Amino acid sequence: MLNLRPIEYVGNSPRNQPRKKKTHKGPSFFGGWFLLIMVLAIGFFYLRPIIPFLQSQRAQASAANKQKAIESLQSSTEFAKNLAAAALERTSKAVEYDPGYYDLPYPGGDLPSHKGVSTDLVVRSYRAVGVDLQKLVHEDMSAHFRLYPQLWERKGPDRNIDHRRVPNLQRYFSRFGKVLENSHSLDDYEIGDVVTWNLPYGAAEQAGGHIGIVVPGPGARSNEKWVVHNIGSGPEWEDKLFDYEIAGHFRFEPLSGTMTAAADSKAGATLSTSP
């Protein structure tokens, strides 16, 4: 006959046995240092080529280098270099990006000094060297309106806004300046040239294009061709000549008889709600 009595278990209950702590064996002390040294060595090998770029960025931000470039350009008797100096001086101004329509005095009318877009930077730079693009563009558009882009459903010229539109400045420069090749060779660009770009979708001024002035680079890179432009963050001095699709390349130096500056005009502008 089978004995079905339970068997007595002597000792701790299996369910209450303490769990053994898991141990993780990491790399040894020397192995950890070896890996760290390897990471640093690889990082230095790949990052070393960008050290000159980082140094140039420091040079770009240097007020001393900017002032040195301005003084060098201003010492020249060449109109183009004086224009580049005026453009570089604009980079010291705080400007809020504002494409709004303003009722401007004429001639010499301007937005409030703390507002503007890329065309305003170009207009202000030319005014600083004795050329009033507001007046010049308006006079030519008044006489030859149909020769200018018909993009804004206007029946005639508007002295408040015409000179603030990139397509109009392109047409004016092509009529009275030199039209140059839209190349990707720095040798084809000179200090003081005006360049227009087509911007990528969604960028500021996409509908009308973008415009800037060619200037020398900063510090040790002064033999390079940089640009001064305002693409949304105010006037900037940057190495971006070929960052966007070039739409136009011009060299505009008017005859002394056409210089109609009003650079010292103190007249203000009134914002209008009408386009």
Specify if 5 maps to a domain: no
214 is a domain residue: yes
pLDDT of residue 138: 98
Q: Is residue 17 part of a domain?
A: no
| Residue 38 domain flag | no
Joined tokens for residue 269: 């502008």
Inside any domain, residue 249: yes
Structure tokens at 73: 């350009």
What pLDDT was estimated at residue 266? 36
Mean pLDDT by 10 residues, the chain (275 residues): 54 55 55 73 66 54 88 97 98 95 97 97 98 98 97 94 97 97 96 95 67 96 96 95 96 66 42 43
Q: Give pLDDT, residue 111.
A: 97
Q: What distances in angstroms separate CA 205 from CA 62, 72, 88, 209, one per listed residue?
A: 28, 32, 21, 6
Residue 155 lies in a domain: yes
Domain encompassing residue 76:
68-271
- The answer to whether residue 10 is domain-embedded is no
Number of domains in the chain: 1
Residue 24 falls inside a structural domain: no
Q: What does the pLDDT read at residue 36?
A: 74
